Every structure is written in C-alpha cells, then in structure tokens.
Amino acid sequence: MYSFFNMNFIIPDILLLLFPFIVIGSRLFCNYRSQLPWRIANFGFIAIFILLNFIPLASGEGRFFICNWKIDDFGVLMREVLIVSAILGIWLSKDYFEHGADGKPQMHQIAEFIGAIAFATFGGVTVVSACDLLTFFLGLEIATIPMYALTAWNKKDQLGSEAATKYILMGSVATAFELFGFSYLYGFAGSLHFGEIQQAIATGTSPLLWVAVLFLFCGIGFKLTLFPFYTWAPDVYEGAPTPVTAVLSVTSKATAIAFLVVLVFGPLAPVQEQIAPLIALLAGTTLFVGNLGALKQSRLRRFMAYSSIAQAGYIMVALLGPASTAKTAIVYYLFVYAVSNYLAFFIFGIIGHHREETFASLRGLSKQNPSLAVALAISMFSLAGIPPLAGFFGKFHLFFSGASTGHYALVAFAVLNNVLALYYYIQLIKSAWVDEPDGHLSPLRLTRRQRGVIIALSISVVALGFLPFLSNNVFAGFSF
C-alpha cells in the first residue's frame, strides 16, 4: 500500500479493461460499415502502448495495487509484448473484414472482434500481475475464452467451427486439470496467496504438492502446446481465420509462458531444482515433436502451427535458468518471436488474399515480387535462428539461460534440433525462391498498410538482434 496515491502505473491496465467496452459500445453510434471502431481501436492500443513505455523500470520488488495486483518489470514488458501482438493482430485482421481469404468467407463485426482480442490481451495482463491463484486462474480464463470465440468467428466456415469445437472441448478439459492442480496446491498450502504458498513449499513438500505441480503443468501444457498436449494446435491453427491463428500463436502462447514463469519463479521457486527434469523433458520432447511434425507440411498455417509448437519447446528451455536470466530471455524472445511470426503471417495473409495458403502458391515469388520474397526469407531465417537476425539472439538468450544452470545436454539437443528446423524453413524458402512459377497463379497486390507493416517488421527483425541499443535498452537494468 505504500504507494496508494501515485497509481499512475495502473492507468494502462484500467484503460485496457475499459477499452473493449468502448470499442464495442461505439458500434451503437455508427452503422456497421463505419471505420470508427477500427480507428478507436488503433488509437487506443497505440495509446496504451505509449503509456506503458512511461512506466519506469528497475523498480525492484514491483508495485502493488490493492495488494494483489502486482506490476513489476517482467509484467510491464509482458504487457508491451501483448499489446504489440494485439496491435499487429488487428492490423492483420483488417483486410479479412474487407474480403475473404483462403477460401474462407469475409468476416464481420470488427468491433466485437477487436473487443475479443482486447479481452484476451487483458487476460494476459491479469496473469502477469496476479498475486494469488484466483486472479491467476481468472486471468488464464479471460485470456482463453475469447480465443474460443475468435476461432469460430467465421460462422459460415465449417472448418472454423470444427476447429473451435475441438479447441473448446480440449480447452475445458485442460481447465479442469488446471483447477485440479490449483485445488491441490491450495490444499497443500492452505492459502491462495503466492507468498504464503512459497513459504509453505519452502518449509517442506508433500505428495500433494507434486500432484498439484503435475496437474498444473499438464493443464498449462495444453495452452503452451507442449508434448503431448499439442494435438489441438495444428487443427485449430488451420481451421481458424489467419489473423486469429496469428493472435493464437503469439498472445495465447505469451500468456501461457507468462503463467509458467510466474508460477515457477513465484510460488514454486523453492522446488525449481526438483521440477527442472520435468521442464527439461517437456522442452526436449516438445521441440523435437514440433520439428518432426513440420517436416513435410504443405499448408502454410499448419506448418506455422508445428513451428510454433517447436518454438514453445525452445522457450521452455529458458525456464531452467535463474529467475532474472530466464525472464530476460523469455521476454526478449517473445518480442522477437512476435515480430518474426507476424511478419510471416502478414506475408501469408497477402498470399492468402489472392491464392490458397499452401506452399505451392508461393512458387515464383522471388520473380513476381522480390521484396516480398526477401521479407519471407528474413522472417523464416529469423524463426530458424540464423544470425544476424533477431531470432538467433532470442534463441541464444534462451539457451544461455538454460545452460547457466548446467543443462548442457538439453541445450545441445535443442541446438541440434535447430538443424531440423532450418531444414523445413528452407523448404518454404525453396518454394518461394527456387521453384518455377506455374502460370495460373493470380498476381499479388499489396495495400499501403501491408507494405508499410512488412517493411517495418523486416527492418526490426534484422535490427532488433545485433544492435545493442535495441536489445539492451530495457533489459540492461533488469533486476528482480
């Protein structure tokens, strides 16, 4: 409570909470083809992002708002990641409300769509600022439930609804696991507050705790698409509309990993060594399986699904490290991952607006539209972790954090898996650069927004990595 009267650091969260109501409410005052909600959304998100950047970092323990809304550096940076993802998401989705793509019909109700995305983002914010299990759980649910709706946004698209069905059924089961874990944790500690749980664990463990941990990891493993809980991801990613896939692959992953970070370095911190093997196994199996699945894909979004499964595995590696390193690594990687992923999805979107989203429709891209092909290569190489692109430095952070506690074997395994990853990313680059175009591919047209975003993202992917003032800025003074 020491800072009850300067609450300015809470303003962005409150804005974010009110924001979806404003956007959806704005629908009442304009007709359905008006650009108003879209404008408000852009303005709002960007404003929130700017406000977030005013929050001073390096404030030690972090600050509290009525005692269980904690805002620390990690939280702020995760907020930034989530907002960036949301902004890019709505920019990506805009075109899908003007005409359909990839054989899916055009989408409607942009205001509600944006609202849903905003809710999901707020859910993520809630997760990173939770101090007790209840808030934690609520945040997770707020982040997840809109995703179900977003997946099924295309009412006329039966793939979408099928994907949504699979998603929500499995999601609810995962929630049940989650709750089970929470309940045992509560039973073990006798309290919902992280601090007390941590003390309880520090004093001593019991099977009850381990059952709780098991269920918690399995439940979150679903959201983070860890092995073997990833099975929903390829289908949902393919069935959902492309912008939703993008948001899924970034926002919900960011939320999930934030959940794990808060859990592992918060209440479970005393037993990090004991659960390290589990984390290592999860990481190893996940990235291996993800890479294997992506090997022979022909449809772009399914391909991205597997690749993001593998990325989740890579992120897990960082959880083995000490708190500060791991958080730095994860936040930085999420930034990089968001940028590269959205770059890829923007390109796929442009492809999808004129053709179906398969490898085959990338053929001859380097001849028709060299700059687009270059951007594609950049994003793919960045996802594959090839220097000097940002993706490499992100992965380097992750492995650095993993290796700092001596898990060389896992790191070596992950690094070797990079070769597999490089293989399938190169497959995609091949179809864009090497394969000859077959005549009946409709030409590509880029709107100004698309071109601008793609250029900006490409530049940031190239520059974010090795330019120290970009990668050091916020993380330099990282002190937990």
Q: Dihedral of the CA atoms 336, 338, 339, 345 (nearest 10)?
A: 140
Residue 260 Cβ vs other proteins, minimum distance, rounded to whole Å = 14
Residue range at the interface with other proteins (CB under 8 A); choices 15-23, 41-49, 103-111, 226-234: 226-234
CB neighbours of residue 261 within 10 Å: 22
The secondary element (H helix, E strand) that includes residue 71 is: strand 69-71
Q: Which of residues 229-268 bind other proteins (CB under 8 A)?
A: 229, 231-232, 234-235, 238-239
Q: Which positions ≥6 away from 345 have C-beta within 8 Å?
A: 92, 242, 243, 245, 246, 249, 304
Residue 363 Cβ vs other proteins, minimum distance, rounded to whole Å = 13
- Does the protein bind other proteins through residue 21 (CB under 8 A)? no
* Single residue of 46, 202, 295, 456 touching other proteins by CB under 8 A: 295
Nearer of residues 12 and 321 to other proteins, judged by Cβ: 321
- Does the protein bind other proteins through residue 84 (CB under 8 A)? no
Q: Which of residues 186-225 bind other proteins (CB under 8 A)?
A: 186-187, 190-192, 205, 207, 210-211, 213-215, 217-218, 221-222
Residue range at the interface with other proteins (CB under 8 A); choices 23-31, 177-185, 255-263, 439-447: 177-185
DSSP collapsed to 3 states, 86-133: HHHHHHHHHHHHHCCECCECCCCCHHHHHHHHHHHHHHHHHHHCECEH
* Single residue of 34, 59, 161, 460 touching other proteins by CB under 8 A: 161
Distance CA 450, CA 355 (A): 16
* Single residue of 258, 261, 282, 350 touching other proteins by CB under 8 A: 282
Residue 267, helix vs strand vs coil: coil
Contact at 8 Å (CB) between 153 and 92? Answer: no
- Does the protein bind other proteins through residue 379 (CB under 8 A)? no
Contact at 8 Å (CB) between 45 and 87? Answer: yes
Distance CA 351, CA 242 (A): 11
- Does the protein bind other proteins through residue 138 (CB under 8 A)? yes
Which of 318, 310, 428 lies closest to 366, judged by CA? 428
Distance CA 336, CA 393 (A): 9
Nearer of residues 36 and 271 to other proteins, judged by Cβ: 271
Residue 166 Cβ vs other proteins, minimum distance, rounded to whole Å = 6
Residue 328 Cβ vs other proteins, minimum distance, rounded to whole Å = 6
- Does the protein bind other proteins through residue 388 (CB under 8 A)? yes
Distance CA 141, CA 153 (A): 18
The number of residues that bind other proteins (CB under 8 A) is 112
Residue range at the interface with other proteins (CB under 8 A); choices 28-36, 75-83, 269-277, 356-364: 269-277
Residue range at the interface with other proteins (CB under 8 A); choices 7-15, 57-65, 342-350, 464-472: 464-472
- Does the protein bind other proteins through residue 472 (CB under 8 A)? yes
Residue range at the interface with other proteins (CB under 8 A); choices 10-18, 49-57, 64-72, 286-294: 286-294
Residues in the chain, overall count: 480
Distances (CA, A) of 99 to 48, 108, 350, 470: 29, 10, 12, 37
Distance CA 78, CA 70 (A): 13
Query: 100-129 mask for other proteins (x: CB under 8 A)?
Result: ------------------------------
Q: Return the bridge partners of 104, or none.
A: 101
Residue range at the interface with other proteins (CB under 8 A); choices 91-99, 275-283, 310-318, 352-360: 275-283
Distance CA 29, CA 36 (A): 9
- Tokens for 366, please give them: 């380097």
DSSP string computed for 437-460: PPS-PPPP---HHHHHHHHHHHHH
- Does the protein bind other proteins through residue 452 (CB under 8 A)? no
Residue 301 Cβ vs other proteins, minimum distance, rounded to whole Å = 11
Residue 234 Cβ vs other proteins, minimum distance, rounded to whole Å = 6
Q: Return the bridge partners of 70, or none.
A: 64
* Single residue of 36, 159, 269, 323 touching other proteins by CB under 8 A: 159
Cα-flanking dihedrals φ and ψ of residue 52, to 5°? -55, -40
Residue range at the interface with other proteins (CB under 8 A); choices 76-84, 87-95, 248-256, 383-391: 383-391
* Single residue of 77, 107, 110, 174 touching other proteins by CB under 8 A: 174
Nearer of residues 165 and 198 to other proteins, judged by Cβ: 165
